[in-house]
């Protein structure tokens, strides 16, 4: 029900947070992103992470298969290759929905409030393969810990948390959380002009 209800949503706000994640020295590696999504392929977010291993805090826009990052030094937009692309989080065929659909051993932990909304808190497992479109990790059938918070009234996903080693070399203490809110709120998302 959570996958179906969430898949029906075409616009929402999200927060992605990675704690104790792996160190990256190539490309762009996001450890935090907050912004808005228009399904199927548009995202606009404030992000922080690393670029070629150096810490950055800037803005990101994804339109279709292209991802743009504002250069924190020059203020100009440039097209980049992003390891963790927020657009893929919400692709209807994969992303968070695939993680939910691949969930197993689910059990109800209890009820909690998420941003003032009554939610069921569930705990279970999902395969590393279901997470591949999300984090770019190698696919596989190994199970990792999963927690879900689902709106009691609408069955929409409010929070998803993955804990532990997703890819080889990941710290055992790695935790990745995605929160969804502001369903249906329209935020214009267009590709920026890139500088030369």
What digits encode the pLDDT tens for the residues 100-113? 888 999 999 999 99
Q: What is the pLDDT of residue 151?
A: 96
Six token digits for residue 161: 């948390």
| Structural element, H or E, at residue 124 | strand 117-127
Q: What is the pLDDT of residue 163?
A: 93
Q: Are 132 and 138 spatial neighbours (Cβ–Cβ below 8 Å)?
A: yes
Residue scoring higher pLDDT (3 or 91): 3
What pTM was computed for the model?
A: 0.86
Strand 77-79, strand 117-127: pairing:
unpaired
User: Tens of pLDDT along 133-154?
Assistant: 777 777 888 899 999 999 999 9
- Looking at residue 22, its pLDDT comes to 78
State pLDDT tens for residues 3-57. 888 888 889 999 999 999 877 767 677 889 899 988 888 899 999 988 777 888 9
Q: At residue 175, does pLDDT exceed 70?
A: yes
**Paired tokens of 114:** 């998420």
């Amino acid at each position: 029900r959570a996958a179906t209800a969430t898949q029906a949503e075409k616009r929402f706000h999200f927060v992605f947070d990675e704690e104790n994640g792996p160190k990256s020295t190539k490309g762009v590696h996001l450890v935090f992103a907050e912004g808005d999504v228009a399904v199927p392929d548009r995202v606009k977010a404030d992000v922080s992470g690393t670029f070629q291993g150096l810490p950055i805090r800037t803005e990101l826009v994804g339109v279709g298969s292209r991802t743009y990052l504002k250069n924190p030094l020059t203020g100009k937009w440039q097209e980049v290759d992003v390891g963790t692309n927020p657009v893929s989080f919400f692709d209807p065929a994969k992303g968070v929905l695939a993680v939910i659909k691949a969930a197993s051993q689910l059990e109800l932990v209890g009820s909690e409030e998420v941003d003032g909304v009554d939610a069921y808190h569930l705990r279970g497992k999902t395969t590393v393969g279901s997470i591949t479109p999300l984090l770019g990790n190698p696919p596989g059938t190994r199970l990792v810990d999963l927690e879900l918070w689902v709106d009691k009234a609408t069955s929409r996903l409010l929070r998803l948390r993955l804990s532990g080693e997703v890819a080889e070399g990941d710290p055992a203490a790695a935790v990745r959380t995605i929160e969804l809110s502001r369903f249906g709120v329209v935020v214009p998302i267009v590709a920026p002009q890139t500088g030369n």
